[in-house]
Structure 1
Amino acid sequence: MAARMCSNLGRPLVSPFPSTKTPARGRKFSVQCCVLDPNQSHKQLVYEVKHKLEKEHSSLPIGKNGRDDEEMILWYLKDRKFSVDEAVSKLTKAIKWRQEFGVSQLSEDMVRRVADTGKGYVHDSLDVYGRPVLVVVASKHIPEVFDTVEDQRLCVFLIEKALAKLPAGQEQILGIFDLRGFRNENADFKYLTFVFDVFYYYYPKRLGQVLFVEAPFIFQPVWQLVKPLLKSYSSLVRFCTAETVRKEYFMEETLPASFKD
């Protein structure tokens, strides 16, 4: 008996009965083949978000930046770490806001009066990282001069303009707050909060970095008030000098004129 058992060692045992089960190795191979690649998985999630938006929020507009805009849906899915429910919630708020704010109706003529002050503009050239650049000149912002809504319209118009300049493969913009000459009368806690709220809720992950250039001592109380409200965007803020802007973010021929002094 022992000799027979030893003689069978090293040889596969054959069942006297035919088996209809798939061998283990075959089963493992079939499971691996059923795993979707990331792109296919993302397409399925985009479809799920579109379906939920159509079913639960059919009154929302369609088309570019609407509830069926697949590019926009995928962007919000990425922002919400591919949670369908969270993406639907944030998208719903964003699309409603765009509709109520009248983003698609904003034009150069509508914001010209405020833009002519030079308090904010989109720079003609990209930075060295290939990002469109939105510049805010704090010393030219006097809260009492214009209605709050006018300043907010200029802000959103410039964000849209900067995003329209995104080159292929680039997804984010650079924000520069030029704080040279900043005085107490330029402080506008409400407006600064609006700027970052707009980016956080309606243009998520579009702001790659924010430079606070030459911030004077009197700006510190404003920053201490605003910082807790910025959420994750506070980590994007870099306090720096004008020289840093010149050396690290632009070439001589692409430098904004106000930084050539």
Structure 2
Amino acid sequence: MEKEEYSSPGGCHEEDTEVEEGGEEAEAEWKKVGLMRAYVEGQDPAAKEVDNFMLRRFLRARDQDIGKASTMFLKYLKWRREAVPNGVISDEEVKNELAQKKIFFQGHDKKGRPIGVGLGSKHYSSKRNMDELKRFVVYILDKMCSRIPSGQEKFVGIADLAGWGYSNCDIRAYLAALDIMQSYYPERLGKVFLIHVPYLFMKAWKMVYPFIDDKTKKKFVFVDDKNLKSTLLADIDESQLPDIYGGKLKLVAIDE
């Protein structure tokens, strides 16, 4: 299976490039955050409710360009009011998605980032409603972010594609989920391990790949079956790894 061109260089090395705290770059970055805050609060009072770390994530997503970051953030505030009018997505609003038992929470990696596990073969394009699917993506991302500990800003995913076939292929859903994550949850994704990848999936991947921004592309790591446990253990302690991958934790459904 030809996956090398899509993998991050070097396999599983750390993909993030952060500004070192306490240095001149960090000081300059926080100054930009202050300027950004002054502008966005003037445009939308709701900006006063978010912390500086959120503004910094948007700033980093736009390569320190205050104008572009502000535009992106203001778009997020407008979207949030419309997409999540009650502040949270309830279980009832995504009950059909939850019933499929395809998303699980699973411990934390060695950097303290919470782990989510998705079972690709549990999703069927014929059974999903796009509006509910989008709400479900927000539901998942909000819950993942709520599990991020102080001092950390990102989460990790394991996309298990064992048994994935034509009935599971859903390009529209993949693109919708990708757009929500990239547009409204910037700098939240730390890494995604794609495991048990069938050859058929690569055809879908080639259609989705052009829509992934350059920073995010580096965070997708394809893992060969023969290196599965060793690759996951490099980032995740055995005590935090799902038992189905050789660890000691049982999978817990997202709504449990």
1:3 alignment counterpart: none
Report if aligned partners of 1:176, 1:211 keep a CA contact under 8 Å in 2. yes
Check if 1:46 corresponds to 2:33: yes
2:241 alignment counterpart: 255
Alpha-carbon distance in 1 for matches of 2:63, 2:230: 35
- Tell me the SS of whatever aligns to 1:210: strand
1:119 alignment counterpart: 102
Matches for 1:1-261 after TM superposition, within 5 Å? 41-55=28-42, 57-58=43-44, 61-65=46-50, 69-102=51-84, 104-123=87-106, 125-232=107-214, 233-241=216-224, 244-249=227-232, 250-260=236-246
Alpha-carbon distance in 2 for matches of 1:219, 1:208: 22
Report if aligned partners of 2:47, 2:77 keep a CA contact under 8 Å in 1. no
Asked which structure has the greater CA Rg, the reply is: 1
Report if aligned partners of 1:122, 1:161 keep a CA contact under 8 Å in 2. no
- Tell me the SS of whatever aligns to 1:134: strand
Alpha-carbon distance in 1 for matches of 2:37, 2:159: 37
CA pair 244-155 structure 1, distance change in 2 beyond 3 A: farther
Alpha-carbon deviation of 1:209? 1.2
Could you tell me the percent identity over the aligned residues? 25
Moved over 6 A (4+): none
Alpha-carbon distance in 1 for matches of 2:145, 2:38: 27
Deviations 1:107-139 (A, max 9, x none): 33433431231112222x112332211221110
Report if aligned partners of 2:126, 2:167 keep a CA contact under 8 Å in 1. no
Higher RCO structure, 1 or 2 (CA under 8 Å, sep 6+): 2
Runs of 5+ consecutive residues of structure 2 not aligned to the other structure: 1-22, 248-256
Pairwise CA RMSD = 2.5
Alpha-carbon deviation of 1:242? 5.0
Alpha-carbon distance in 1 for matches of 2:222, 2:27: 42
Q: TM-score, normalised by structure 2?
A: 0.76
Alpha-carbon deviation of 1:243? 5.7
Runs of 5+ consecutive residues of structure 1 not aligned to the other structure: 1-35
CA pair 120-61 structure 1, distance change in 2 beyond 3 A: same
Q: TM-score, normalised by structure 1?
A: 0.74
